[in-house]
Amino acid sequence: MSLSLRGLLRFQESGLLVVILVLGAFLTAFSGTVRAPLFQQGPDGTRERVFITDANGERTPAFVERNKFLNAQNLAQLAKDTSFIAIMAVGMAFVIIAGGIDLSVGSIYALASVAGALVLNHFGPGGPAGDIGLAGSLAGAAVCLGTALVCGLTNGGLIVALRVHPFIVTLGTMAVFRGVAFVATQGQSVGGFPQSFRDLIRIEVGQGLSVMPLLVMIAVTVVGWVVLSRLAAGRRVYAIGGNELASRFSGIRIERVKLGVYLMSALAAGIAALLSLGYYGGATSGDGQGYELSVIAAAVVGGASLSGGRGSALGVVLGALIIQMINSGIVILGIDQNYSQIIIGSVVIAAVVLDNVNSWLARRRLQKASEG
Amino acid sequence: MSPPPQIEFRGIAKRFPGVQALDGVSFSVAPGSCHALIGENGAGKSTLGKILAGILSADAGTLLLEGRPITPATPLEARALGIAMVHQELAFCPNLSVAENLCLGDLPTRRGGWVDRAALHRRARALLAEIGADLDPARLIGSLSTAQEQLVQIAAAIGTGARVIVMDEPSSSLSAGETRELFRLVRSLTARGITLVYVSHRLEELFALCDTLTVLRDGRHVWTGPIRQTTPGEVVTRMIGRELRVETPTHLTQTLGAEVLRVEDLSSPGRFSGVELSLRAGEVVGLAGLVGAGRSETLQAIFGLDPRAEGRVFVRGQPLRLGSVDAALAAGLGLLPEDRKRQGLVLGLTCRENVSLAALPALSRFGWVRRAAERTQARHFSERLRVKAPNIESLVAGLSGGNQQKIALAKWLARSCDILLIDEPTRGVDVGAKAEIYPLLDELAREGKAILVVSSELPELLGLCRRILVMRAGRLVGDVPRADATEASLMRLMAGVAADCAA
């Protein structure tokens, strides 16, 4: 009993869960309600409106008061929005834990989307090759993910070979990748994908819950968690982020690990791009603008330390959820959309300040312990 | 009644974690003298200089300036009292010019905050001319040589009205010509009545320059007197004579195995040159030398960390590719670096994760870390090395210096390295942990590991090693068997004092 309790307390992400619960409770309490028409399952299995017949025999449609935040539709929307950011944030966690930064994820997302879209359009119903079924969809997916990996290889390669700070390299490629996407599409939106591809990703259950992004997010999180915490490769990521020099002195191939983390970040952006293709059915070079900020914010709020060496896959996913809950809360509470940037920015800074206070306290505890 | 001394130390004590750096040091410095402060590495001479200059503050004792007690808490306060320090660490902003650095605290400005460049350069030129330095004030500090930067430091000190200047190893990175220039400047400063506290361990230099000398040993004051009344040999005798804390190791009696490491003509430009050494299985060889002699650099070059290293290194007869840590690791070498917090350990990871850091390939199957094996290994080595930590999941950052060192050593044992290059095994380690580390190294040697150990503590080398190599100014100058090695003989080799001086 005491063992499981200790296990739970040591669970680093428990603080984030508390924040999420408090935020959820707050939004539920203050969001107010909305009148929604009531449906029921008809005898033939279809959804039909419920009517109330009053004493005078008049039939009036029935409504229910539903909480604006705590309702199935809103939560399904929140889950979908979180998925895209969370997937990319898991990739970003690798980079940040290794002590780097990747500003180009939004542009990789756009370029991978556009590249995949051009292929899917080629094999789409109106495309030159016509719909050839599964093969066309697979080709589109392969090109989408492959493009992302090439972007990651470019980032990692430049950082390792030129020994330039990752901030500079990815700031440059952020513009380059988006520029390539723009040139490739001439700024036009690309759509007209095979229907089977779209149907696969738009599978819904219950009241409009798209499960595909959610399932992919869970899969990416599990893979990220396993790699970071169970594989030797992940241990090396923590080691070089914690102390690059000592890692080099221990025979870790720094260059290889760095290349790997930028590939992971790009691959995650590619996966998110692939989902968006199916979900939205189109892509433009302007997609994913500003995603890098949301993704980095999610990682930082989720406990990844920008000085490297600390963070977890689960933490950044919870961080992404917090960021999206705040975004959604701004809409629900009827706050002017223009405030959302201010609020998100402040939350990120507050998270970093809290993290600093926390590590300062930890240092002091350690100092006391070593003196005692 | 004679005038009060310029500086008087009364019972100065300073403790760093795990080591008593200064222990009740008392002596005085006469006005206008050039006072030498000498002692072995770690004797406390730099610490004393830093306390005087306000960089460190003493735990106990009194500091008197012209008879009045002072407590400079910052370098700025010491400056205001007329005490300045010239040291090796970066004292200036390398990205700014000489003139800007000289006037940084009080930039001449015109109305509206514009820097008055003409006045700036005029003032800087005057300050430099004061000490006879011929330097362009517009040059960036970063582009100057060490000697030139020292000149600027001295000019800055004089410019702020310093009457006492502490010089910490001022000649350690100067060429012969630059050193002559420095001597000329030192003499001209004392001629102007400025008091100099000159920290060095180069005996010949002190005898050429200084008039009074103070010897420190293990943080204690040993002797102060006029330099004319002593000889370099006497000074060496006073510097050494620390207590021998190492029990005679048992590995000395075993027969040595085959040669496992041979280094031929190993050089690295500007660091060391022509190093030759050989190491056999079960042998513990020491590498002695003063700070800057190239000992750590030699170890790092053997371990593949110096891309500019040239020469030949053979491990068990096989040539080792230089400049590659991978090759060194594959050949079974392990380096326990001098600065374990920066180079040896990942402080934010646990004991377990640090122990397995270099052994991950052996511990993982298809890329998965076998956690049970990893835990078993970490437990095994922390028990064997008697690491005192709450458990193997404790963060290394929270351990004491001695226990951190054991974890750093365990990292190489976990990789089963059989040639260990150990740089300062007991730096920043308390006495208790030292007494545990020595038998441990002895035990490793008995198991047939070959150990090359660099240390600034001569008693440590004398106690541990079968043979002691001595380096001076980047060259190997001696190979002393245990039977012939004494602190005095090693110290003479390290400092380059001829044997007849010690008579």
* Least confident span in A211-225, B117-131, B431-445, B486-500: B486-500
Nearest CA-CA distance, residue B326 and chain A, Å: 6
- Option in A230, A232, A239 nearest B346 (CB): A239
Residue A172 burial (C-beta neighbours within 10 Å; 0-12, 13-18, 19+): middle
For chain B, list the domains and their CATH numbers. Answer: 7-239 (3.40.50.300), 250-332+418-502 (3.40.50.300), 346-416 (no CATH)
Question: What percent of chain A is helix, strand and coil (3-state, nearest 5)?
Answer: 70, 10, 25
Bigger pLDDT: B91 or B194?
A: B194
Is the CB of A231 less than 8 angstroms away from the CB of B399? no
Residue with tokens 């720094």: A254
Comparing CA positions, the residue from B276, B255, B223, B299 lying closest to residue B448 is B255
The counts of H helices and E strands in chain B are: 17, 22
Q: What is the DSSP letter of A40?
A: E
Q: What is the largest CA-CA distance in chain A?
A: 88
Length of chain B: 503
Query: Is residue B501's pLDDT more than 50?
Result: no
Comparing CA positions, the residue from B347, B454, B471, B336 lying closest to residue B398 is B347
As a whole-number percent, the residues of chain B with pLDDT over 90 amount to 41
Distance CA B142, CA A312 (A): 41
B435, amino acid identity: A
Write out chain A residues lying below 8 Å of B404, CB-based. none
Q: Phi first, then psi: what are they for A48, rounded to 5°?
A: -140, 155
* Least confident span in A364-368, B172-176, B208-212: A364-368
* Least confident span in A69-83, B76-90, B402-416: B76-90
* Tens-digit pLDDT profile for residues B278-303: 999 999 999 998 877 889 999 999 99
Average pLDDT value for residue range B355-361: 91
Q: Is B211 helix (H, G, I), strand (E, B) or coil?
A: coil
* Residue from B325, B357, B403 whose CB has the most chain A CBs within 10 Å, to mutate: B357
User: Which two three-digit tokens encode residue B412?
Assistant: 């190489």
Bigger pLDDT: B237 or A215?
A: A215
Residue A2 burial (C-beta neighbours within 10 Å; 0-12, 13-18, 19+): exposed
Write out chain A residues lying below 8 Å of B346, CB-based. 238-239, 242-243, 246-247, 309
User: Which two three-digit tokens encode residue B309?
Assistant: 């290293």
Write out chain A residues lying below 8 Å of B398, CB-based. 366, 369-370
Output the CA–CA distances (angstroms, integers) from residue A138 to A117, A141, A146, A196, A211, in the order listed: 12, 5, 12, 11, 20
Distance CA B286, CA B314 (A): 19
**Which range, A146-160, A205-219, B165-179, B244-258, has the best average confidence (pLDDT)?**
A146-160
pLDDT of residue B151: 85
Q: Phi first, then psi: what are they for A127, rounded to 5°?
A: -80, 165
Cβ(B216)–Cβ(B222) below 8 Å: yes
Average pLDDT value for residue range A60-83: 85
As beta bridge partners, residue B37 has B199, B214
Output the CA–CA distances (angstroms, integers) from residue A301 to A167, A318, A347, A352, in the order listed: 19, 8, 8, 7
As a whole-number percent, the residues of chain A with pLDDT over 90 amount to 52
Whether B332 has its CB under 8 Å from any CB of chain A: the answer is no
B2 Cβ contact list (under 8 Å, min separation 6): none
Bigger pLDDT: B375 or A11?
A: B375
Q: What is the DSSP letter of B483?
A: G
A180, amino acid identity: V
Is the CB of B349 less than 8 angstroms away from the CB of A239? yes
Is the CB of B345 less than 8 angstroms away from the CB of A243? yes
pLDDT of residue A368: 64
Q: Is A32 helix (H, G, I), strand (E, B) or coil?
A: coil
Length of chain A: 372
What DSSP letter does each residue of A279-324 carry, written as one string? Answer: HHSEE-TTTTTTHHHHHHHHHHHTT--TTSS---HHHHHHHHHHHH
Query: Is residue A110's pLDDT more than 90?
Result: yes
* Confidence category of residue B175, pLDDT binned at 50, 70, 90: confident
User: Which two three-digit tokens encode residue B38?
Assistant: 């000498």
Q: What is the DSSP letter of B21?
A: E
Cα angle for residues B382, B386, B390 (degrees, 5° grid): 65
Residue B275, Cα to own-chain centre: how many angstroms?
Answer: 20
As beta bridge partners, residue B259 has B280
Bigger pLDDT: A46 or A235?
A: A235
ipTM of the complex: 0.79
User: Which two three-digit tokens encode residue A197?
Assistant: 């591809």
Is the CB of B349 less than 8 angstroms away from the CB of A246? no
* Least confident span in B25-39, B106-120, B338-352: B106-120
Distance CA B350, CA B391 (A): 9
Cβ-based interface (< 8 Å): residues of A facing B: 230-233, 235-236, 238-239, 242-243, 245-253, 309-310, 363, 366, 369-370
For residue B159, how many other CB atoms are within 10 A of its CB? 18
Cβ(B65)–Cβ(B40) below 8 Å: no
pLDDT of residue B195: 94
Mean confidence (pLDDT) of chain B: 87
Q: Is B381 helix (H, G, I), strand (E, B) or coil?
A: helix
Distance CA B260, CA B419 (A): 8
pLDDT of residue A371: 52
For residue B227, how many other CB atoms are within 10 A of its CB? 18
* Tens-digit pLDDT profile for residues B102-139: 887 777 888 888 888 888 899 899 888 888 888 888 88
Cα angle for residues B215, B217, B220 (degrees, 5° grid): 90
* Tens-digit pLDDT profile for residues A134-180: 888 999 999 999 999 999 999 999 999 999 999 999 999 999 999 99
pLDDT of residue A327: 87
For residue B386, how many other CB atoms are within 10 A of its CB? 13
- Option in A231, A252, A310 nearest B368 (CB): A231
Nearest CA-CA distance, residue B339 and chain A, Å: 10
Reported as type and span, the H/E element at residue B420 is strand B419-423
Q: Phi first, then psi: what are they for B365, rounded to 5°?
A: -120, 125
Nearest CA-CA distance, residue A359 and chain B, Å: 11
pLDDT of residue A366: 64
Distance CA B478, CA B475 (A): 9
pLDDT of residue A2: 43
Write out chain B residues lying below 8 Å of A310, CB-based. 348
* Confidence category of residue B459, pLDDT binned at 50, 70, 90: confident
How are strands ordered across the β-sheet holding B19-29?
B19-29, B7-16, B60-65, B68-70
Output the CA–CA distances (angstroms, integers) from residue B219 to A177, B206, B238, in the order listed: 62, 20, 13
**Which range, A42-46, B147-151, B438-442, has the best average confidence (pLDDT)?**
B438-442
Residue with tokens 């990996």: A149
**Which range, A91-105, A238-252, B97-111, has the best average confidence (pLDDT)?**
A91-105
Bigger pLDDT: B218 or A107?
A: A107
Long-range contacts of B476-480 (CB under 8 A, 24+ apart): B476/B274, B476/B275, B476/B276, B476/B277
For residue B233, how many other CB atoms are within 10 A of its CB? 18
Mean confidence (pLDDT) of chain A: 87
* Tens-digit pLDDT profile for residues B410-424: 999 999 899 999 999
- A221 conformational bin, left if phi > 0, alpha if psi -120 to 50, beta if neither: alpha
Cβ(B16)–Cβ(B42) below 8 Å: no
A54, amino acid identity: D
